Each structure stands twice: as structure tokens, then as C-alpha cells.
Amino acid sequence: MTESESANVTLVSLLIAPRTRYPVVAMVPAPRRLKAKRLPLLRRPEEPAEEGWNALAWPGNHYLTRRVRVIRRALLVTIWTLVSMLVQSVLIALPGSAKVVFARIYWSMMCRLLGLRVRLIGAPVRGADAGGRPVVYVSNHSSWLDILVLGGRLNACFIAKEEVASWPLISWISRLGRTVYVRRQRSSTARERDDMGERLAAGDNLILFPEGTTSDGSRVLPFRSAFLSIAQLPVGPGGKPPLVQPVSVVYDRLAYLPAGRSTRPIFAWYGDMDIGSHFWRLAQRRGLRATVLLHTPLDPSAFPSRKALAHATWVAVAAGAAALRQNRPARPAGAGEGAEAAGTPAFA
């Protein structure tokens, strides 16, 4: 019975019913209501909550598919690393800059094998722009991925803690990358500073993480001024110190969507996390992106003290990282902009 027929039956029943104190209404079946069509959920009920992001980029996501992707990426990374170690061991023994260029190619290819796209904002200081002076790139540090991202975009060597030299496989890769090791002891500070000075005087650029450890990616930890002692060494032409260029690194895309606070542990490697399980979780994902923001370089001779230089560098890095985390338009910060924002911590 349709809805119009039901209305007609009800009206006729009222007309033919005898007059009583209370009207008698015949009971008729109510019209059938339309039900909303249920759409399939993006995340299956049996799926873990953290896997819901995968469903946005991977329709028909399956357990086996993710595991196959991890194994495939691990094999490709291993093969590429072994081949690169043979090539780089030969290039290190040869004069010229081939070893520096190949190291950059190696890190860049590692990002591609992991499915990590890198966006670059700003430009590194090179050649005539630096006036023949070497450059110390100062960056925030939240993951081992920072090595791959920065190594694939900057012609520079890394400064790492001495413990890295004892890690299996990682130590071989870092040595082939001509990494400079430092101890966290005051007694060896002068000797290590001289070693880094020799590298800078030879024309090498260095990448420094002055936080001293990795963070969870939601903020930039204060910079330790002791790490910036190399920025005061007279290694440039005319005894000038090297330039310091602040760098902000933020992982801002996951499953091709903006990454938030809840998804940053997928990228960040901190605390007691082991690198094996972290790689296993990360290699399952797709649609990853890191943004590198290169700020205006600073001249250490323009600052009254090493602490002032460390603070100005931290302000530029923290402000740039906060803008990227909040998905706001970011641009390289100049010395003047950093001075205005001094003392303002950046959280997002």
C-alpha cells in the first residue's frame, strides 16, 4: 500500500465512523521510511587504530600487502647499500669531490627506496655566495631519517656521537660518509674541535645537530652552545669563521595527508626505540614527505658570544619548524626576523 492510499483509507474511516465522544480512527499501516545507505568505513573494525591512516591511501589494505612492501624495501635498501659501500670505498681513496657527490646520491636514493619525498624550501649556501668560507648547517633532530633527508640535499659531512661508530652496519655507512665522531666529555672537546677545524679548512661542510639528542618531533629542544664552538674557528679566507646556516626539518605528510601530533611517532625516533621495529612500522607506509627549510646564513662574527649565536640559530630553526608542523606557509627566516622572535618557544 502506498502512502497516498494509506491517507485515503484513513480519511474514509473518519467519515463513515459513527459520531461518538471520541473519534474512532482505523489502524492502518504506517508508510515505510527510507533508510540511509550505509557507506563502508575507511577503517575496518578489526584494524588497529594506527592503521586507519593507511586505508586513506591504500584501498583494500591487507596484512600481507604491507609485509611484502616492508620486505621489498628492506631488500632494496640492503642491496643498494652494499653496492654503494664498494663504490664509495674506491672514491675515498681518489682525490677530488667525487666521494662527496656520490654520498649525496646514496642518501637521495635511500629516500626514494623508502618512499619518502623531500621538498626543499630555500637554497644552501654555495661557492661565491659563501665567499670561499665553509658552511656549518645547524638542524633540528627527531629521527634517523634526518640523515637521509639532509644527506641527499646538502654536500656536507655529518657530526655524530662516538657511540654510532660501534653500531653494526651503521658504522660502516657513516665511515664511508666521512662522518666526524665526537665524545660527550669535556676532556676531548679541544681535540675534536681541532679535527673538525681541519675538515672545514680542507673545504668540507658539516651538518650539526646541536640538540644533542632526538626529540618527538613536536618541538625543537634548546641548542647547546658548546656544539657551536666550531663556528668560531678561523678556517675561512683571512681567518674568518665558517658561516652558520639554520635548517628546519619537518615530516609533514603521511598517506598523502598532513601529518599531525598523533602520527609524528611514525617518523620520530627517540627515547628507547630500537631502529629495527621503527623501520618496520615506517616502511609499511606510503605517501611520506619531509620538508627542508633552509634559512638565511648567519655570520658568527656578528654575534657577541657563542650563546647568542646558539640562541639566534635556535629561534630561526624552531620558528620554521613550527610553521611547517602547522601547515602554514613557511619561508626562510633572516637574521632580523629571528631577532624579533627571540625568546619565543615554538610548539605545535
> Is residue 39 pLDDT above 70, yes or no?
no
- Distance separating alpha carbons of residues 235 and 241, to the nearest angstrom: 6
Secondary structure class of 279 (helix, strand, coil):
helix
- Pairing status of strand 243-254 against strand 288-294: antiparallel
Model pLDDT, residue 20: 54
The residue behind cell 674557528 is 233
% residues pLDDT > 90 (the chain): 43
Of 58 and 231, which is predicted with more confidence? Answer: 231
Q: What does the mean pLDDT of the chain come to? A: 80
Q: What are the pLDDT digits (tens) for 290-317?
A: 999 999 999 999 999 999 999 999 999 9
Backbone φ and ψ of 154, nearest 5° = -125, 140
The residue behind cell 492502518 is 28
Predicted TM-score of the model (pTM): 0.77
Residue 62 CB partners (closer than 8 Å, separation 6+): none
Q: What are the pLDDT digits (tens) for 96-109?
A: 889 989 999 999 99
> Is residue 167 pLDDT above 60, yes or no?
yes
Domains parsed from the chain with CATH numbers:
62-340 (3.40.1130)
Model pLDDT, residue 37: 56
Binned at pLDDT 50, 70 and 90, residue 80 comes out as very high
CA quadruple 273, 277, 280, 283: dihedral, nearest 10? 10
